[in-house]
């Protein structure tokens, strides 16, 4: 999702206009006007909260897998997450601040999101959480690749040695994570890996579509609309391919997991992440969230006895370091004049 941003503090500002930072040493990109050069404790806590909530999401999905199919689980959890944004949308519509053209502009990003969410959740039925989450981090590379093709401002990355170094490390890391997997030939593993890699591509497609469609809009409103469309799409898929009757057979504990995971890993995680980005820009939150696979692994070790061999851990670290370098290279694009806002067309 694109981050929300207010006319005075980035919240509610158009997409793509909330990440202006002041250049400094690596890792020190902060909003000097707001923080006076000090660490923003609130933003740091928000980043860590988003990291924790996004890390327990895969654990919840894996926990629910024996009780409900991926299609139904996806629809249930996302419905709970959608309810978080409905009051905001209702207030905006009552105040007349909601742009009705968003209903049309959100269609393509929502389709991409439905596909991505479906692939993402299904992959957990074939792979363990940490391994799958680590592979999904390749979405950083696809976002960069697609951005190079679509946004002229970002094509300066082609001349960036830092970017190509990050890309090379990431590719090598992915190869290592796959090649050193002990049960690579196990039934379903290859299919799960394929689903994950396609999900990573679709995440990039979603990000690109959202960035293009929602430029110049209040991204809180666009997020709410995308969530509504996504829930509708997921329920259609659940009705066609899932077994919705399983929902009635879920235990109280399983329902509690559905509700808690929808609120935390879908709603609160995004809200915290966007709050952090509006205070300190996009780079630091993106780098912090790269630690997600290792936190997932720590939890999954106790929950599902998931283990990665040392060479896989080393390869995963190389993958994430490469992704961090690529993000760092993209951050320096902030010194280049931004692309003009692309206002969506609608009736």
What tens digit of pLDDT does each residue of 196-209 get? 999 999 988 988 88
More confident site: 256 or 159: 256
Most confident of 133-142, 188-197, 228-237, 273-282: 228-237
| pTM attached to this predicted model | 0.75
pLDDT tier at 18 (50, 70, 90 boundaries)? very low
CA 272/CA 276 separation, integer angstroms: 6
Residue that is written with structure tokens 């293009």 in the block: 212
CB atoms within 10 A of CB 267: 20
pLDDT tier at 33 (50, 70, 90 boundaries)? very low
Cβ 32 vs Cβ 265: under 8 Å: no
pLDDT tier at 282 (50, 70, 90 boundaries)? low
More confident site: 5 or 240: 240
More confident site: 99 or 31: 99
The enclosing H or E element of 268 equals none
Task: Measure Cα distances from 36 to 11, 32, 40, 165, 253 in Å.
Answer: 20, 5, 9, 33, 47
Q: What is the mean pLDDT of residues 297-315?
A: 86
Give 111-165 pLDDT, tens digit per residue. Answer: 999 999 999 999 999 988 988 888 888 887 788 788 777 777 777 777 778 888 8
CA 320/CA 186 separation, integer angstroms: 25
Per DSSP, helices labelled H in the chain are 32-35, 41-64, 70-95, 102-105, 107-123, 129-136, 139-150, 161-179, 189-213, 219-241, 252-261, 269-280, 283-289, 292-304, 310-331
- Residues 6 or more apart from 86 whose CB is under 8 A from it? 224, 228
More confident site: 208 or 20: 208
Residue 318 burial class via C-beta count within 10 angstroms: exposed 0-12, middle 13-18, buried 19 and up: buried
More confident site: 277 or 50: 50
Three-state DSSP state, 306: coil
Tokens of 244: 């919705």
More confident site: 24 or 53: 53
Give 326-345 pLDDT, tens digit per residue. Answer: 777 766 655 544 445 444 44
Residue that is written with structure tokens 């393509």 in the block: 108
Is residue 15 scored above 70 in pLDDT? no
Q: What is the mean pLDDT of residues 264-269?
A: 86
Q: Which of 279, 324, 290 is nearest to 3 (CA)?
A: 279
Is residue 65 scored above 80 in pLDDT? yes
Q: What pLDDT sits at residue 19? A: 34
For 344, phi then psi, to 5°, come to -75, 155
CA 104/CA 346 separation, integer angstroms: 7
Is residue 182 scored above 90 in pLDDT? no
CA 346/CA 337 separation, integer angstroms: 27
More confident site: 31 or 303: 303
More confident site: 219 or 261: 261
For 291, phi then psi, to 5°, come to -75, -5
Residue 14 per-residue DSSP state:
B
Q: What pLDDT sits at residue 239? A: 94
For 57-72, the three-class secondary structure string (H helix, E strand, C coil) is: HHHHHHHHCCCCCHHH
């Amino acid at each position: 999702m694109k981050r929300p941003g207010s006319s005075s503090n980035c919240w509610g500002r158009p997409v793509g206009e909330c990440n202006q930072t002041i250049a400094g040493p690596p890792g020190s990109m902060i909003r000097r006007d707001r923080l006076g050069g000090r660490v923003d404790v609130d933003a740091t806590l928000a980043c860590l909260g988003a990291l924790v909530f996004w890390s327990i999401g895969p654990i919840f999905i894996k926990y629910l897998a024996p009780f409900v199919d991926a299609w139904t689980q996806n629809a249930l959890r996302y419905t709970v997450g959608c309810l978080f944004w409905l009051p905001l949308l209702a207030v905006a519509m009552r105040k007349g601040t909601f742009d009705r053209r968003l209903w049309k502009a959100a269609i393509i990003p929502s389709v991409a999101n439905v596909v991505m969410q479906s692939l993402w959740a299904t992959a957990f039925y074939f792979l363990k959480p940490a391994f799958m989450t680590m592979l999904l981090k390749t979405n950083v590379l696809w976002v960069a690749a697609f951005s190079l093709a679509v946004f002229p401002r970002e094509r300066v990355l082609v001349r960036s040695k830092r970017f190509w170094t990050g890309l090379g490390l990431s590719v090598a890391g992915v190869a290592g994570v796959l090649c050193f997997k002990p049960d690579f030939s196990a039934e379903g593993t290859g299919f799960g890996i394929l689903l994950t890699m396609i999900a990573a591509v679709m995440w990039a497609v979603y990000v690109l579509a959202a960035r293009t469609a929602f430029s110049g809009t209040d991204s809180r409103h666009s997020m709410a609309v995308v969530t509504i469309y996504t829930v509708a799409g997921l329920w259609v898929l659940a009705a066609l391919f899932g077994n919705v009757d399983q929902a009635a057979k879920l235990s109280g504990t399983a329902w509690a997991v559905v509700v808690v995971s929808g609120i935390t890993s879908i709603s609160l995680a995004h809200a915290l992440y966007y709050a952090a980005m509006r205070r300190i820009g996009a780079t630091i939150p993106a780098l912090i969230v790269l630690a997600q696979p290792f936190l997932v692994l720590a939890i999954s070790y106790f929950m599902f006895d998931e283990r990665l061999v040392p060479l896989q851990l080393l390869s995963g670290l190389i993958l994430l370091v490469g992704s961090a370098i690529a993000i760092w290279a993209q951050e320096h694009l902030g010194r280049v004049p931004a692309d003009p806002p692309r206002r969506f067309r609608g009736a």
